[in-house]
Amino acid sequence: MFEAPIDMMSFFTLYPQEWQNHSCIAMNGVYENAVLTALEKHKNLSEIILCVDNDEGGIEAADRLRDILAENGYTDVKRIAPQFKDWNEDLKAKNDATPLPAVPHKRKEEYLRQIEALQHLRCRPDKLKSQIYATFKNGQYKYLAEYALAGSAFFVCKTSENVMFEKLKAKLKAEYKPYTDRSGKAQKQKLLQESVQEVLSDLKQSVRTHQQSVQTAKLLYQLADNAVRMEVEEALSVPIQEQSEDMDIVSEPKPCMEFG
């Protein structure tokens, strides 16, 4: 599925092999109505490949369309990205013309980078409330995320915290959708404060059933997510010249675990 007819034509000029064996549509944008209408007419299709642009709009569209398609029963959805901004630019490059470069999604890349950088800190349940309060009060959002995620791992599985911590990191990466992350810094700060208050209230419990432990883990997991989003806002507000020029780009995450 392509954003525009010109992208489809460029793609098949670049990759003419066996194009007749595939059903292709141009979405004339990235709206789901065209996709769903086409699929309604071709109910035999199960695998869907999104060939959207390699820019912020295309990256967000791929995530959004994946979710919409999953809601409609299509779970085998992949994305093929052009090397440059779109398939027409790839074709230009092949013909020795200067192409427009790909445009990375800065917020998504920074979120994934921040998650990857989180380090496991052994959870001390008796210290967790004070650790969360202090790091939030001091604006230490990375440490807040680490304490919260370590706490979540502890309440999910006390015997292998470090393994669960890595699984929860993978879960955060897989569940992040930039098209849902549109609020400003002030709103993110408000959500983080509410999340901290909810967690501190929950941690007052001295004894928990299994279900209560699962709920505590979910609250701490959400707190970690909110803390990382604030850290992302802080990082993106730094002037470009002060940012590292050799930041690693984290690969697309894969679906993972559920709480239960």
Helix (H) or strand (E) holding 49: strand 47-50
| pLDDT exceeds cutoff 50 at 181 | yes
pLDDT, position 240: 54
221, 152 Cβ separation under 8 angstroms: yes
Task: Give the mean pLDDT of the chain.
Answer: 89
Tokens 């790839």, residue located: 90
Work out the pLDDT band at 247, boundaries 50, 70, 90: very low
Percent with pLDDT over 70 in the chain: 92
Q: What is the tens place of the pLDDT at every residue in 32-67?
A: 887 888 888 888 888 899 999 999 999 999 999 999
Q: How do beta strands 76-79 and 47-50 pair? A: parallel
Q: Is 185 helix (H, G, I), strand (E, B) or coil?
A: helix
Q: Look at residue 248 in the predicted model and tell me its pLDDT.
A: 47
Assign 246 a pLDDT band (cuts: 50, 70, 90): very low
The pLDDT tens digits of the residues spanning 209-237 come to: 999 999 999 999 999 999 999 999 999 98
Alpha helices per DSSP H over 30-99: 32-41, 56-71, 87-94
pTM of the model: 0.84
Position 171 pLDDT exceeds 50: yes
C-alpha distance from residue 230 to each of 57, 144, 225 (Å): 22, 10, 9
How far apart, in whole angstroms, are the C-alpha atoms of residue 158 and residue 223?
Answer: 19
Q: For residues 241, 242, 244 and 249, what is the CA-based torsion angle, rounded to 10 degrees?
A: -80
For residue 19, what pLDDT is reported? Answer: 73
Note the Cα 214 to chain centre separation in Å: 23
